[in-house]
Structure 1
Amino acid sequence: MDKSGLKMAVIAKVLALSLLWAGIGNAGHHEEEAVGPTIAELAVSSSGLSTLVTALKAAGLVETLSEEGPFTVLAPTDQAFDALPKGALEGLIADKEKLKKVLLSHVISGRALAETVVTLDSVKALSGEMLTISTEDGVEIAGARVIKTDLLAKNGVVHLIDAVIIP
């Protein structure tokens, strides 16, 4: 083999080893993998969120919360909806645009785990509302107490709250 052929063989081997090591170096360091249910599927399968699911369906937002995201959803429990004044939920269901604005006040763009949320003073919801965050006595977002955190979905995260945020 002449010098140029030997040089090409060495370059090819170095390149092959470089590619091999690059692949090994990245093993296990993928971006968050899309596994598990979507936020919408998580809500449907979770007990205590049936009123939220009904409202999401009425507002046409189930498909949105099935998309790639990522989203952070502040999910009011059934008890949170039950605490609304009499007739308020029915009024929202009847007014799709108002319902959509209320529900989008519970959705934040991006994946905000609890460890991140507690470092923030406020966050902007997809409705455009600025939601204040307080950590003085537990964690409250726009006056709603966070009662369960970090329910992971493939397109985001869900935190359960004890009140419905009304913009």
Structure 2
Amino acid sequence: MTFRLFAVTTAALALAVAGCNKTDTTNGAAPDQPAQAAKAAGDQTIAAALDKNGRFYQAAHAAGLDSTLAGPGPYTVLVPRDEAFGKVEGALKDSGNPENRAELTRVLTLHILPGTVLVDDLAKAVDNGKGKALIQTMNGETLTATKDGGKVVLTDSSGGKATIVDGDQKRSNGVVQYIDTILTPSAQAAPKK
């Protein structure tokens, strides 16, 4: 499982980096942004700054992603507010169950973007993309960013929408964007027999 997650994460990161040079509507970050984020945030990583009693951190810990979020990054993490977890079923509802780890990892990596992506970066990408921008996630899927009333809204493949409600919490290894809803990965194909 660890190798598979690493391979998926590496592939997603490679796709995101390759896509950054092709269009302004992907996760492009200026070369000095990680250094600026580190300077603004000091030595505190994303993992260290997250509320250890919060539902997102507990789920990330259960999936083994807390060590990733303590790593060098840079990452942008879309952290759903605790209230959003009360509306979900499945792996997120019972994140402590080891049988849910693969699905939990799949959901959580949809909430992690490679690089440092600030709210203004997303807003500019939406403007440059004539109303929308495609954002690559660490699980290999794409979110669509749009704006609604001056706020950035992220839409998953199933049409679920999350609004960034508190953004640009800079850390030494990236940035945290708090959102109001949990995004959902696309349905997995049934295994072939």
TM range, smaller chain: 0.7 to 0.9
**2:113 counterpart residue number:** 108
Aligned counterparts of 1:90 and 1:83: Cα–Cα separation in 2? 9
Runs of at least 5 residues in structure 1 that lack an aligned partner in the other structure: 1-29
- Which residue number corresponds to residue 132 of structure 1? 144
Structure 2 match to 1:145: 163
Structure 2 contact 63–105 (Cα < 8 Å) conserved: yes
Inter-partner Cα distance in structure 2 for 1:136 and 1:164: 18
Assess if the C-alpha contact under 8 Å between 2:162 and 2:180 holds in 1.
yes
* Residues 62 and 95, structure 2, Cα contact 8 Å, conserved in 1: no
Does the CA contact (< 8 Å) of 2:43 and 2:172 recur in 1?
A: yes
C-alpha distance in 1 between matches for 2:170 and 2:112? 14
Query: Structure 1 vs Structure 2: percent identity of aligned residues?
Result: 31
Deviation at 1:96, TM superposition (A): 0.3
Unaligned runs of 5+ in 2: 1-33, 126-132, 156-160, 186-193
Aligned length: 134
C-alpha distance in 2, partners of 1:161/1:131? 13
The one-letter amino acid paired with 1:71 is Y
Partner of 1:38: 45
For residue 68 of structure 1, report the CA deviation from its aligned partner.
0.5
Say yes or no: does 1:99 pair with 2:83: no
Q: Determine the structure 2 residue equivalent to 1:26.
A: none
Q: Is 1:69 matched with 2:76?
A: no
CA contact 1:72–1:157 (8 Å) conserved in 2:
yes
Q: Superposition RMSD on alpha carbons, in Å?
A: 2.0
Asked if structure 2 preserves the Cα contact closer than 8 Å seen for 1:106 and 1:125, the reply is yes
Please list the CA deviations of residues 33-89 of structure 1 after superposition, one character each: whole Å capped at 9, or x if unmatched: 4523100111136xxx7100110110000000000100000001101111224x563
Task: Pick one of 93, 97, 102 that aligns with 1:90.
Answer: 93
Q: Which amino acid aligns with 1:43?
A: L
Task: Output the amino acid matched with 1:70.
Answer: P
| Matching of residue 161 in structure 1 with residue 161 in structure 2 | no
**Contact 2:46-2:172 at 8 Å conserved across structures:** yes
**What secondary structure is seen at the aligned counterpart in 2 of 1:152?**
strand
- Give the counterpart letter for 2:78 in structure 1: L
What TM-score, normalized to structure 2?
A: 0.64
- Select the structure of larger CA radius of gyration: 1
Asked whether the equivalents of residues 93 and 99 of structure 1 are also in contact (C-alpha less than 8 Å), the reply is no
Moved over 4 A (4+): none
TM-score calculated relative to the size of structure 1: 0.73
**1:105 positional shift:** 0.2
